[in-house]
Amino acid sequence: MTPNCPSFKAAFLKNMAALHLPAPDSLWTTATTAISNVSAMLTAISKLGADATLAEIAGATTGLELLGSAGAFMAAGYTGACIGSLIVAADASMVCTSGGEALATVSEWGRKNGILVPPAILVQLQRDPAPLMPGSPYQPGYARRIAATSSRKAA
């Protein structure tokens, strides 16, 4: 029997939905598009800082304006969710069960794809690896856990 394997986009969107996070369709159509968008997010975070909101990232980049609708989320948390969803979508059978495994998985994924994942993102995913845990009971609360709570608020 052949397994029912979802498309990259379907698996990515399903993982983001499980995290209760918005994911504009056009930004995540293929692995190549998703990697490009995550790279742009990482570049913006490196310039704006790990405590930037998604609205600030959307305003500082070209092509990611659709993310402005999710502006109240911490960019590091959202980007971590995107990286996790990218990995889950690329390998639907992978399930990380601990922060240490998440850290190793994301680091290895970054090396293989030539993407430097900043320490702030690695720390976020180590602290809360829910984006890398499809079907986990911890996924639904992820959006609440990464909601911006600092003095920096969405624009």
Does any domain span residue 155? no
Instruction: Give pLDDT, residue 12.
Output: 92
2 assigned to some structural domain: no
Measured CA to CA, the distance from residue 79 to residue 89 in angstroms comes to: 15
In tens, the pLDDT along 78-137 reads: 999 999 999 888 776 444 445 666 677 788 888 888 988 888 888 888 888 888 777 777
CB 28 within 8 A of CB 147: no
- The SS3 assignment for 53 reads strand
Please give the residue range of the domain that contains residue 80. Answer: 8-146
Determine, yes or no, domain membership for 78. yes
Contact predicate 78/54, CB 8 Å: yes
Query: With contact defined as beta carbons under 8 Å apart, do 71 and 64 qualify?
Result: no
16 belongs to a structural domain: yes
Domain membership flag for residue 77: yes
pLDDT of residue 108: 81
Alpha helices in the chain (DSSP H): 8-18, 31-48, 54-60, 75-90, 99-113, 119-127, 142-146
Helix/strand/coil for 114: coil
Count the Cβ atoms, other than its own, within 10 Å of residue 98.
12
Q: pLDDT digit string (tens) for 20-65?
A: 998 888 888 888 889 899 999 999 999 999 889 988 988 888 778 7
Whole-Å CA distances, 147 to 82, 123, 133: 15, 16, 19
Residues 139-149 have a mean pLDDT of: 84
Is 151 within the bounds of a domain? no
Rounded Cα–Cα distance for residues 101 and 1 (Å): 31
39 lies in a domain? yes
